[in-house]
Amino acid sequence: MIQGAGSNVGKSLLVAGLARAAVQRGLSVAPFKPQNMSNNAAVTVDGGEIGRAQALQARAAGRDPVTDMNPVLLKPETDTGAQVIVQGRRFATVRARDYGAMKGQLLPRVLESFGRLCDTADLVIVEGAGSPAEVNLRAGDIANMGFAEAADVPVVLAGDIDRGGVIAQLVGTHAVLPAPDRDRITAFLINKFRGDPRLFDGGLTEITRHTGWPSLGVLPWFAEAWRLPAEDILDLAAPRPGGSFKIAVPRLNRIANFDDLDPLAAEPGVTVEIVQAGSPLPGDADLVLLPGSKSTIADLAHYRAQGWDIDLTAHVRRGGHVLGVCGGYQMLGTRIEDPDGLEGEPGAVPGLGLLDVTTRLQLKKRLSLTKARDIETGETLTGYEIHLGTTTGPGTDRPWLTIDARPEGAQDPTGRVRGTYLHGMFDSDAFRRAFLARLGATTSEMSYGASVEATLDALAEHLETHLDVDALLALAH
């Protein structure tokens, strides 16, 4: 199990890289994360949903993603509450302060999923969540040491040197952990080093002197990480190479399933700009993309509070293009109805009015892996649907996709404003190129899937070069 001495130390990529390295050694591997918190979910082949990072790790392991890889997924809906997904299905919606009482009944489900995965693989690599140093959360824990103890899994602790204070991260974790948890940590490693790793030899010695834990090595910064699907919108917001065609994406408070942006951002001729709250939508944007949302009505209010509705109207008046995906599609319509109060008080709110459609939110969630076709070009594509509600109205009489011969999506009479429930469509290279070319972008012959695979191979080689992978794998039992 890879745990972190803090949040965002790079656990997800470490697990993905180790999974690919183990596969290259001839092992069958499965990733596992007992509890994840993310609104960026993936639809699995067994009809549920898991965290997007576990789907990438499954890909690194050469496996289809299944719900057992992430049995508990928390999807924040407000600052104090989240939807709880258990083994791929909605289980409850709870306030954060009440979740602790629920964890005891979730541990058996977590161990059940873990056991099934262990039956299918030579090696299961587990990712923790946050940090075990949060000892105030230890009672009933299912994400870090509580799971490791229940499943009897040895732990490797990773520290993030890029933030500074990594010696304190690791030594401090040793100091605050109770002895049984401390003894479960078998080794440590340092991640995200910039420069000559040998300069930290003395640091490794100090950490071992204070903790007794052996070092597995110092991992330099992996510069190609941006080529892999991002689980955190902050990873996409970081500067990256780009071109003259600009796609502006307003950052919603509950942005969800924004993996639609990864293949667009990977195009050399495209720049994806994440627009932060308080900043206007850029006037030179060629396309404004409204992403998915876990709380569409609340995020629509946030959108209006930034003045982005005014900016978007001006963008359309200038001849700009707009694409709404899932929650963004719902926002583009004339009205969003929530008669059952799924997102708050029952009622309805006006949409942005750029598509002549109305959305009615409903409790039943649609989860499906999907094949579709672009009506205009005939290009086929794959994607997935993960949403509440149905959208109807005259705008849907102008679909631009079909799914199993069923019309999908809507557009305005000009064809410059479009919406769809289909996520992941830009992974399909021919469709992505045709879509961008239609808007005037310069496209490349890049294969997004091949790029991800090559980057996973490079990540595995990076780990093999700088970490003692033999010693790490030998810890498993």
Q: Catalytic residue positions? A: 326, 423
Both ends of the chain: CA-CA distance in Å?
Answer: 11
Report CA-CA distances (Å) from 82 to 67, 85, 88, 96, 241.
19, 9, 15, 7, 35
**Separation between Cα atoms, residue 74 and residue 78, nearest integer Å:** 12
User: Angle formed by the axes of helices 429-438 and 448-466, to 10°?
Assistant: 120
3-state DSSP helix/strand/coil percent for the chain, to nearest 5?
Answer: 40, 30, 35
Residue 158: closest CA among 126, 117, 136, 119:
126
List the structure tokens of 310.
Answer: 């005014």
- DSSP letter at 281 equals P
Report CA-CA distances (Å) from 122 to 30, 49, 238.
8, 24, 37
**Separation between Cα atoms, residue 246 and residue 229, nearest integer Å:** 19
Report CA-CA distances (Å) from 471 to 57, 95, 216.
21, 42, 7
Q: Which helix (H) or strand (E) holds 94?
A: strand 89-95
Residue 62 near residue 120 (C-beta atoms within 8 A): no
> How does strand 292-293 pair with strand 347-350?
unpaired
Report CA-CA distances (Å) from 189 to 103, 361, 473.
29, 46, 13
Residue 338 near residue 361 (C-beta atoms within 8 A): yes
List the structure tokens of 297.
Answer: 């009505």
Residue 47: closest CA among 386, 393, 373:
386
Spacing of C-alpha 434 from chain mean position = 26
Report CA-CA distances (Å) from 404 to 45, 47, 372, 408.
18, 18, 7, 10
Q: Which helix (H) or strand (E) holds 344?
A: none
